Amino acid sequence: MDDRDRAAGQPPPAPAAGTNEEDGRLVPQMTASPDTARQDDLRFEAEALPYIDDVYRFALSLTRDPADADDVVQETFLRAYRSWRTFQPGSDARRWLFTITRNVFLRSRERERRHVDLEDGDLEALSSFAAATDQGRDGSDQILSRIDLAPALRRALNDLDEPFKSAVVLVDLEDQSYEAASEILGVPIGTVRSRLFRGRRILQEKLMTYARDAGFTTAQRGQRGSKDD
Amino acid sequence: MTECKGDIDCRGAVQKLWDYLDDELTPERMDEVRRHLERCGDCLPHHEYGRVFLAALASARQTDARAPDALRRRVMDSLRAAGFST
């Protein structure tokens, strides 16, 4: 299942009734009857709890720490449960849970809110591929297809700062569309683009540093007989 | 290089390259970028670079990362304490 495919036609999860809650949505104030509460619990078990692995993976990518991720997951599901009657049946529970996860994470890391957003995604895209061009001059671009980058990328992702990391994780690892990421992060799509493209550029730079440290680019230059040799 | 009317130039293509690779452009814009890449030897390597990079990034996803059993129990305990009854 690819969220990019469905995102365009997928309405955001809409609240059913009530006041506010941690995810910025509405929560009912009325008291549910025992039967209704039981039905809600069954729905929560069937529609929300199956995403615990997804939420855990997202939380782990945000916190970088298993113990912190556990705390975020527990709080996420607790808040989700308390707000469950605001969740509209048929909407995207995974996206809704990611929104809460992100908010729980930010609450625990208030410093993350201090970042100033860059709004020009087009400029970030140009910078990203301009860097690639520079790397191409010393053969570094070919490293991407020559070595197993996954371990280096995981390490680079762990080191990537917010708010860039959330954008990269949501779009590139969790297959969320720009629109879905915008909804989860609570920012305009243009901001998602700029964060995403900047995050990708930082990762590219880290990869090239990794490659140079590992001697790949030196070897590449040697094979090409660079005049710098 | 001759530009057809309505087609984008290299700068425009590169500006839209991430969106293109993410399949986030309108069909018309997707076609514009695709046509440009088909005939531009300067921009095609950028496309290949971005494509390989995104594939590597997607492969970094730890699909085997599962919530530990202890966490599952902890979540269920906290839910039950909040009234969850199943």
- Distance of alpha carbon A71 from alpha carbon A68, whole angstroms: 5
pTM attached to this predicted model:
0.70
- Residues in chain B within 8 Å Cβ distance of A170: none
**CB-based contact (8 Å) between A149 and chain B?**
yes
Chain-centre distance for alpha carbon B43:
19
Beta bridge partners of A20: A26
Task: Give the residue on A whose Cα is nearest the Cα of B79.
Answer: A78
Q: Which of A45-54, A153-162, A199-208 has the highest mean pLDDT?
A: A45-54
Split at pLDDT 50, 70, 90, the class of A226 is very low
**CB-based contact (8 Å) between B26 and chain A?**
no
pLDDT higher than 60, residue A117 = no
pLDDT higher than 70, residue A10 = no
Residues 6+ apart with CB under 8 A from A146: A216
Q: Please tell me the predicted confidence (pLDDT) of residue A136.
A: 53
Q: What is the pLDDT along chain B (86 residues), one digit of tens a residue?
A: 444 445 789 999 999 999 999 999 999 999 999 999 999 988 998 998 899 889 888 887 766 688 999 999 999 999 999 999 87
**CB-based contact (8 Å) between B67 and chain A?**
yes
